[in-house]
Amino acid sequence: MLVKNFSKVTQIFGRLRYVRSPYDFSIGIQQNYRMRSEGLRSLCILHPKEQQRQRQRSSNSSSSSRLLFTAAFSFNFLLGGSDEKDEEDTPEAKLINTIKRSILCIQNEQYDKAEQMLHLALRMAQDMQSFKGITYVYDLMANLAMEREQFRKAEKLFVDVMKRLMADGHSEDSPKILHISSKIAHMSQLQGELEKSFQGFTWTLQRLGKLVQSMPEDNDILELYGLTKNWFGQLLMKQGKYDEARKLFKEALDILIGVYGTLNDASVTILNNISVAYVNVIYPFYINMLSIKFIYFCQLEQYAEAKETLLQALAVAKDLKDAAQEGIIQANLGLVFLREGLLKEAEKFCKLAWKTGKKQENADAIEQAEYCLNEIKSSMKN
């Protein structure tokens, strides 16, 4: 779903109050020229954890969900590629079943129980002296820590996994290594370690780009490439590099549509990110050489692009029957219409968002819609 509580412009447009949580980052709609005073709240961005819960509720969920919580491996290494049926009393079968139960606990958000199961699985793998089994369990533990926002713990576990992979013969260019590298860079961004995150994404994308060139039909690599570009775009927005971020988001969107088609929840997420980049466009170098009127029309063009992008996201969300994301997108559309001064359209979408949020018990959609409706009331008084 879309992350709430981006910056609120409380008095003069351009005066921002940033509100951040580990998954949230504030992207204010910015102006470099004087306009009339009005309150404006920025658009919302998709929140990874809530987005995962929505995917679990949706029968039309795409394969993109695998990358938000997944190990870099499969069970194949434990089975050794054998087609033989598992015997319940074999150590391998017991280990696999324990891991499966831990994953089921994670899907049900029973994180404490999942961690207990994974520690049991780790002891079983150690008793079996299964090097790859131990590595696999460590990787699951790292992903669980990342899901619980225990980022320091997750990074330490991921580093241990990378060391074990390299000891097992994997190079720096291995997809498994790059998979983990991308996640570490993303966690660094979420913790505010922007330079570390930037270096991590740059390093990872350079190597992923080479892999894509050599294996252009490998959907797993393409999927990781698209996800990493999207995450890197989020970092660039945090740094105020909206134009660069928008280009990355569009590249990520094209890649992921190529992997699993137009109707996927990743498209909803990235289209929304693109809209946020549009409404935050800045003219840093030639601002003083342009007339206020010309700049105003440039800004309106950006809003038009943002609306078109959000309407695309809304159409995909409707086709996916994902009402939770639909509510947030409706609220975002209302805010863009509000910025343009189209109060009736803004009110229409914000009321729709409020109704959708109430129906889905989506606090973020309700909050965003109520903010928009309050701003509409304030605008009518002025």
Phi, psi of 16 (to 5 degrees): -110, 145
Residue 24 lies in a domain: yes
With 0.85 as the threshold, say if the pTM is over it: no
For 169-209, the pLDDT digits (tens) are 999 999 999 999 999 999 999 999 999 999 999 999 999 99
* pLDDT of 296: 61
* pLDDT of 21: 30
Residue 99 lies in a domain: no
Angle at 171 between CA 131 and CA 208, to 5 degrees: 120
* pLDDT of 23: 31
For 217-257, the pLDDT digits (tens) are 999 999 999 999 999 999 999 999 999 999 999 999 999 99
Which is nearest to 133 in space by CA: 70, 76, 87?
76
Question: Strand order in 40-41's β-sheet?
Answer: 16-17, 8-9, 40-41
Inter-axis angle of helices 219-238 and 242-260, nearest 10: 160
* Tokens at 13, concatenated: 């447009």
Residue 328 lies in a domain: yes
Residue 103 lies in a domain: no
Residue 365 lies in a domain: yes
* Tokens at 12, concatenated: 């003069």
Residue 354 lies in a domain: yes
Per the structure, the count of domains in the chain is 1
Q: Could you tell me the CATH number of the domain that includes residue 34?
A: 1.25.40
Domain that holds residue 284: 1-62+265-382
Residue 283 lies in a domain: yes
Residue 102 lies in a domain: no
